[in-house]
Structure 1
Amino acid sequence: MDKLNDRVDQRKADTSKPASHRIVIVGGGAGGLELATRLGDTLGRRGLAQVTLIEKARTHFWKPHLHEVAAGTVDLHTHAVNYLAQSHWHCFRYRMGEMTGLDRERREVHVAPFIDSDENEQVTGQRVFAYDTLVIAVGSLNNDFGTPGVQEHAILLETPAQAERFHRRLVNACVRAHAQSAPLRPEQLQVAIIGAGATGVELAAELHHTTRTLVSYGLDRIDPERDIRIELIEAGPRILGALPERMSASARELLEGLHVRVRTNAKVTGVTADGVQLASGETIPAELVVWAAGVKAPAFLATLDGLEVNRINQLVVGPTLQTTRDDNVFAIGDCAAAPWLGREGTVPPRAQVAHQQASHLVKQIRRRMRGLPVQPWTYRDFGSLVSLGKYSTVGNLMGSLVGGNMWIEGLFARWMYQSLYKLHELALHGVWKSTLGTAARFIARRTVPHVKLH
């Protein structure tokens, strides 16, 4: 009955003004929020379309920076974007909730009741949203491959809340070790990072810096060189396995120079309360364990009224980013298995992919509304960059950006890495607001500790 009432209420609201194309975007990550913002600015503001963003979180944070929240070098609240405010400023509707089902015949998205976990209180009931064009952009999750103990004893860096949880554990561990009179246990102040992709590598470098900064604030009974160890564990033959070998070798050399112990060809078979178990039989003592290995899309995508998914639950889409079994449903970002035109396989799960796909769909949805055919999307690979905190940034620039393939590192690479986030900010806020926000953070940085202490 609640579902029926919500459907009737929505239709009443829709008939109070001239009919317009209904665009529903599910997921407020980098691609979804950029798409909602730009469609709101171009179509929603002029009443040409009704743009709705469905997202279960209240605020948006750029996922590639989660490792910095975990390390404490970035304050989540100075970078978070409030969905409700963003929707007001950019003429789209934000509806809080999590998609649970799809009725393709009726063109309806089913959204579960929203429960405030802190208050254990229901905020909204089950709802149904009608669409003419649906874009699914729910991102990805880490894949623990069913490894015993991961869910109980490790932290996955999928959300800002998880990143903040890890940082609180890190601060608590240092304060506890400083206050105790007994010698440190073998696992105390030991950090194990499982998975040496970009997130794992970047977190390892950041933690080397932040742990030393943290103990410098009066925790003088801890010697970071003696007491703190960071282990980076990778099942494959090298770190950054999806990136060029030169990047892998350079990043490993730098990490080892920071006394981060890098283990490759080391398969994890279990995580316990005080360490990590390897297939070789060795146990690595660790009080803090981060799981940063593997990628999969949310499991509910495999239940969406017959839409095709691959083995890691990604929605299979064609060159136009439309799902293979329904032209009214698009998918972008990490949750989509999009073909890499001109190459074998699908495009990689990167922020630049979601950004390009969102920019492409802004134009294609407008064509679709005019009755024109949707054009295919082509991925332009501009290369890869990996930040190793204050120590260095390494990467390669590719394609039309430099007319070939150019290796970069150091300060220039750091600027290029930061520019990726600035492009995201520009897409959300425009030049003037992005500039003011950057200036405000620069000034505030001079008045607070360089590492978050709580």
Structure 2
Amino acid sequence: MHRFIIVGGGAGGLELATRLGDRFGSTDEKTPPKAQVTLVDRNPTHIWKPLLHEVAAGSMDPFTQELEYAAQALWHGFEFQQGELVGLNRAARRITIGALRDEEAGELLPERELEYDTLVLAIGSTTHFFGVEGAQENSIALDTVGQAELFRKRLIQACMRAEHFTPEPVAAGVDEAEAEDEPGVDPVPRIQVAIVGAGATGVELSAELRNTAQVLSAYGLHKLDPKHDIGIVLIEAGPRILPALQERVSSATGELLTKLGVKLMTGETVAQVSRDSIRTASGKTIRADLTVWAAGIKAPAVLSNLDGLPTNRLGQLTVRRTLQTEIDDSVFALGDCAACPWPGNERNVPPRAQAAHQQASFLFKSFERMLQGKTLPEYTYRDFGSLVSLGHYSAVGNLMGGLIGGNMLIEGLFARFMYMSLYRLHVAALHGYARMVLDTVAHWLRRSTAPRVKLH
């Protein structure tokens, strides 16, 4: 029996495990499986990573959106093993999973070894701090639900505390000395949230936080002016926000954020992050009661120590267009942790959810061919455009390629609908369309009977 092991239960890894389990596994003890499919992840639950900015802003309760890996495995005919990948023996085709520990109960599961015939590495990415002094110690990344929840709680605490303490007299986003010469600069907010990195995560979080400030005020958690007393500054080293997207998408998003009272600082490279401020390479000092680091990603460090598998400068595994690693045909990689060629482009396939979804579907079909003794096809990324959510205010993005036969800028309600549909398509890939519709209705009912923002 062929043994598939998929390490990483993100969007791509979980979708691949689900489809392989449905096709080759078994949910009935009387029916033997055609192949053994095992999913490995260090966490017990899955949440779609593009939702983490909503968790951080409190506009989404993660516990209503998390999926238990063990339950998904039971429903779809694969096995789940909880633990972190710590080693690989390619000659023996064996991976090592680290011991699972609990702070109170101690060791729950010992270190284990699993044997495979085909290994798929889909462990995603982590935040890249670029060696900036104090960045890792004094800012919060949004890689996990725990980090997003930590930021949300600190934001609420800061709002409650700000009513009784006066901040240092530094203007928002500029040095105190520069404030007198800067026309139209508002007085310093009582609370200042700094977001480093104006990619999709930073932009979406900045818009969600403006809504959060208004809701927390409406429910009486603070008596601050949501727009003037709570400042949000978005810092980007490049010349414009959303540098990976088209300039017209960036411009439209910038205009919307400015209307929401988000201060945009482009062309500013962060040189140091301290507990309550940020210093840029140009010499500016920005007061920051809370700092979120969303400036870049890199592959997890473990990939650079996996029995000689080649990686690039970001730590991603270099793969061929079949998604096989360069030196081992039995080891595949997909998603953010894979450096996959993009024919006709100077850069590799971008680290986006749509790429992970496409690669999961591609590998499922490839493995069907492989088990039939056929040659593997080559993967070609299809860019359907990008969408950025600005919370309930709006959305903006571009549709392109095969979807519309060209390139079209979209914004407003239509863009918002398209953005919301992305997550629903992910749910459909895991549960089918019938359960996706039921989940959508249940989500709407929960939102109709609960505050728009989590208040504790």
TM > 0.5 fold call:
yes
Q: Deviations over 1:215-256 (max 9, x none)?
A: 111145312233111000001111100100001111111111
Aligned to 2:432, the other structure's residue is in SS state: helix
In 1, Cα distance between equivalents of 2:63 and 2:72: 15
After TM superposition, give the deviation of residue 344 of structure 1 in Å: 2.5
The equivalent residue for 1:183 is 166
After TM superposition, give the deviation of residue 105 of structure 1 in Å: 0.4
For 1:5-154, list aligned pairs within 5 A. Answer: 20-45=1-26, 47-117=33-103, 119=104, 121-154=106-139
Aligned to 2:415, the other structure's residue is in SS state: helix
1:439 aligns with 2:425: no
Amino acid in the other structure paired with 2:38 = T
After TM superposition, give the deviation of residue 390 of structure 1 in Å: 1.4
In 2, Cα distance between equivalents of 1:428 and 1:212: 35
In 1, Cα distance between equivalents of 2:268 and 2:293: 14
After TM superposition, give the deviation of residue 162 of structure 1 in Å: 0.4
In 2, Cα distance between equivalents of 1:120 and 1:145: 36
The equivalent residue for 2:229 is 227
Gaps of 5+ in 1: 1-19
The equivalent residue for 2:176 is none
Number of residues paired by the alignment?
Answer: 432
After TM superposition, give the deviation of residue 305 of structure 1 in Å: 0.7
What's the % identity of the aligned pairs?
56
After TM superposition, give the deviation of residue 408 of structure 1 in Å: 1.0
For 1:18-417, list aligned pairs within 5 A. Answer: 20-45=1-26, 47-117=33-103, 119=104, 121-178=106-163, 180=164, 182-185=165-168, 188-219=190-221, 221-417=223-419
Q: Deviations over 1:132-165 (max 9, x none)?
A: 0000000011100111112221000011110011
Amino acid in the other structure paired with 2:166 = P
After TM superposition, give the deviation of residue 295 of structure 1 in Å: 1.2
Q: Deviations over 1:64-90 (max 9, x none)?
A: 111000001111011111111111111
Conserved in 2, the CA contact under 8 Å of 1:188 and 1:287?
no
Amino acid in the other structure paired with 1:207 = L
The equivalent residue for 1:450 is 452
Conserved in 1, the CA contact under 8 Å of 2:41 and 2:81?
yes
Q: Deviations over 1:158-191 (max 9, x none)?
A: 111100110010111112223x2x4344585110
Conserved in 2, the CA contact under 8 Å of 1:319 and 1:341?
no
Aligned to 2:228, the other structure's residue is in SS state: helix
Q: Deviations over 1:320-353 (max 9, x none)?
A: 0000010000000000000112323211000000
Conserved in 2, the CA contact under 8 Å of 1:37 and 1:90?
yes
Gaps of 5+ in 2: 27-31, 170-188
After TM superposition, give the deviation of residue 281 of structure 1 in Å: 1.7
* Residues 407 and 221 of structure 1: CA distance in aligned 2, closer, same or farther (over 3 Å): closer
After TM superposition, give the deviation of residue 120 of structure 1 in Å: 5.5
In 1, Cα distance between equivalents of 2:235 and 2:222: 29
TM-score by length of 2: 0.93
Conserved in 1, the CA contact under 8 Å of 2:6 and 2:120?
yes
Conserved in 2, the CA contact under 8 Å of 1:188 and 1:286?
no
Conserved in 2, the CA contact under 8 Å of 1:174 and 1:215?
no
In 2, Cα distance between equivalents of 1:38 and 1:241: 34
Conserved in 2, the CA contact under 8 Å of 1:267 and 1:278?
yes
